[in-house]
Structure 1
Amino acid sequence: MRKRHIKLSPQQVKEFVTTSSKCNFDIDVFYNRVIIDAKSMLGVLGLDFTKTLTVQYQGYDDKFEAMIDRFAVA
């Protein structure tokens, strides 16, 4: 199980959801006590983009990892 912290803008949501949807493993986004499926456009758009989000996943995909690296925060 991997956890990464990311920050998204509303403009980056489409890329995030599209890339997540191509993965054959579950990807969840945590914000406070809310868990959202990363493959849900409406779910991700409903998040607060001023806060850091936690992404949790178990699989590995090169394109997904490259995207997460671009959105990652320290």
Structure 2
Amino acid sequence: MSYQDARNVRREARTLVGRFRGGVLAPVMAVAVRGNEGGFVSQKVTFELDPIAGRMITPIYGELTSVFVPVQAMDAIR
């Protein structure tokens, strides 16, 4: 075991199912990372469109914005 091997892996998952209109902000998750924790945070997001007839003229894209705030701010909101 080296220092590069993951120890104490913490997984958080949330499934948000529903329909969203274009341009709508939808908060997905808030996870507190404490000062004594280290490592990296990875995210996996899947978008799925409703079936449509014909073909699309314009390209389709999704945008995800990650915001990092201090833990104290998250504690104050709760």
Q: TM-score range by the shorter chain?
A: under 0.3
Which has a greater percent of strand?
Answer: 1
- TM-score relative to the length of structure 2: 0.23
Which has a greater percent of helix?
Answer: 1
Whose radius of gyration is greater, 1 or 2?
2
